[in-house]
């Protein structure tokens, strides 16, 4: 039987840090008597070295990055992977040589790995979540009439987020008579620094005389982010692909209706939306140099993205602008019930109880 579950990750307010820290907190809330839950900061070498020295056969080690030092640890080793295209990140062919199991955050992610020839018997869907006690519609203030429908985009500026398509669709909607305003929180958060990307600044300058744009930046608290979700009539999410998209699920949980694509990990929790309410897209090869440089495939195959149709997005914005008081309660109820962090923790425990015994499995299929 396992006696310790150790997470190798980070505790930060965005992205993988939230994924890691919220899962740890949800598991710790079970108040086990015989099982320890630990968070080891993967980028702190002293913590990692101590964890390797203290490694035991009864450990379960869960990683948020495909760490090379995983081979030095005893016990069960699991990589909880997140990727953002129809081909996983570089090195995926060898993940199962270092890890006994793979957790995918979505059925979409698992299907992608199966299509790429990975062993499906070792890949399991463990979704991320949302904090339903914090992100919920119950403290949502009644919006004061402003004469403009407010659309919100939250997420660091990247090509795959669809900012350029969104700005052009908003311009076209205004040209057809829509009264609207765009709110954005699109800076890159790195520790204590919050930086607006030069390309995003140029984009705002290009469109600021076409429609109203309000740019927020800086290190916002959770309370400030929640108020931002509350302030919008619609959350705009024309992303080409996502690993999960915490801002989208948080906004939905807050009761903000969304206009979204559905290609990537976020497809896991958009089941409450019928296909007719999803932005039309076209699948095509990834065309972003920054993404290609980061992922690093040497054979030129970076998978595909789902590119949003600007005309279709324009029509959805026009329809939304005609009903600024639309309710997002259905989506909020759905994601808070099915994708909270407590359910994530429960799924992990169920997996470990059903799959993990006292002895560590061997890598019988590992290449010599």
pLDDT digits (tens, 9 = 90+) for 100-157: 999 999 999 999 999 999 999 999 999 999 999 999 999 888 877 778 999 999 999 9
In a shared domain, residues 158 and 257: yes
Specify the CATH number for the domain of residue 246.
3.40.50.2000
pTM: 0.94
In a shared domain, residues 15 and 33: yes
Q: What is the pLDDT of residue 359?
A: 42
Q: What is the pLDDT of residue 192?
A: 65
In a shared domain, residues 165 and 309: yes
d(CA 105, CA 100): 17
Asked if residue 136 belongs to a domain, the reply is no
Is 155 in contact with 161 (CB distance < 8 Å)?
Answer: yes
Asked if residue 138 belongs to a domain, the reply is no
In a shared domain, residues 156 and 109: no
Hey, is 263 helix, strand or coil? coil
Burial 50-66 (b: 16+ CB within 10 A, else e): ebeeebeebbbbbbbbb
Asked if residue 144 belongs to a domain, the reply is no
Give me the residue label for tokens 């995003």: 200
Counting every residue, how long is the chain? 368
d(CA 78, CA 288): 30
170-190 residue pLDDT tens: 999 999 999 999 999 999 877
Instruction: Find the DSSP H helices in the chain.
Output: 15-28, 45-53, 95-98, 107-115, 163-175, 198-207, 222-231, 246-253, 289-295, 310-321, 329-338, 341-355
In a shared domain, residues 288 and 322: yes
In a shared domain, residues 273 and 164: yes
In a shared domain, residues 290 and 320: yes
Asked if residue 363 belongs to a domain, the reply is no
Asked if residue 295 belongs to a domain, the reply is yes
Note down the domain range covering 201. Answer: 149-338
Axis-axis angle for helices 329-338, 246-253 (nearest 10): 120
d(CA 186, CA 155): 5
In a shared domain, residues 171 and 45: no
In a shared domain, residues 70 and 100: yes
Give me the residue label for tokens 């499906």: 120
Structure tokens at 318: 């026009």
d(CA 364, CA 348): 24
Structure tokens at 39: 């968070």
**Backbone torsions φ then ψ of 22, nearest 5 degrees:** -70, -35
* Count of structural domains within the chain: 2
Low-confidence ranges of the chain (pLDDT < 70): 191-192, 357-368
């Amino acid at each position: 039987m396992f006696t310790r579950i150790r997470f190798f990750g980070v505790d930060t307010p965005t992205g993988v840090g939230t994924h890691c820290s919220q899962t740890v907190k949800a598991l710790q809330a079970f108040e086990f008597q015989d099982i320890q839950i630990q968070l080891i900061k993967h980028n702190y070498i002293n913590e990692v070295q101590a964890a390797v020295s203290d490694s035991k056969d009864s450990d379960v080690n869960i990683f948020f990055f495909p760490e090379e030092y995983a081979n030095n640890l005893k016990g069960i080793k699991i990589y909880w992977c997140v990727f953002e295209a129809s081909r996983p990140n570089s090195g995926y062919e060898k993940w199962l040589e270092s890890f006994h199991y793979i957790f995918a955050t979505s059925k979409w992610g698992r299907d992608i790995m199966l299509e790429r020839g990975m062993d499906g018997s070792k890949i399991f869907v463990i979704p991320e979540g949302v904090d339903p006690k914090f992100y919920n519609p119950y403290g949502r203030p009644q919006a004061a009439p402003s004469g403009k429908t407010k659309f919100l985009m939250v997420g660091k500026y990247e090509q795959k987020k669809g900012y350029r398509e969104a700005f052009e669709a908003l311009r076209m909607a205004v040209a057809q008579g829509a009264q609207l305003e765009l709110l954005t929180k699109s800076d890159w958060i790195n520790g204590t620094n919050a930086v607006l990307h030069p390309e995003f600044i140029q984009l705002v300058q290009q469109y600021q005389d076409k429609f109203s744009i309000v740019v927020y930046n800086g290190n916002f608290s959770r309370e400030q982010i929640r108020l931002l979700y509350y302030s919008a009539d619609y959350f705009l999410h024309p992303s080409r692909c996502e690993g999960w998209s915490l801002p989208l699920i948080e906004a939905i949980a807050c009761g903000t209706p969304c206009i979204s694509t559905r290609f990537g990990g976020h497809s896991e929790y958009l089941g409450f939306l019928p296909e007719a309410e999803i932005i039309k897209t076209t699948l095509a090869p990834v065309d972003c140099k920054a993404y290609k440089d980061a992922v690093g495939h040497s054979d030129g195959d970076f998978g595909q993205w789902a590119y949003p149709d600007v005309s279709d997005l324009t029509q959805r914005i026009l329809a939304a602008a005609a009903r600024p008081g639309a309710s997002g309660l259905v989506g909020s109820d759905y994601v808070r019930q099915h994708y909270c962090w407590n359910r994530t923790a429960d799924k992990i425990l169920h997996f470990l109880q059903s799959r993990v015994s006292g002895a560590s499995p061997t890598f019988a299929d590992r290449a010599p």
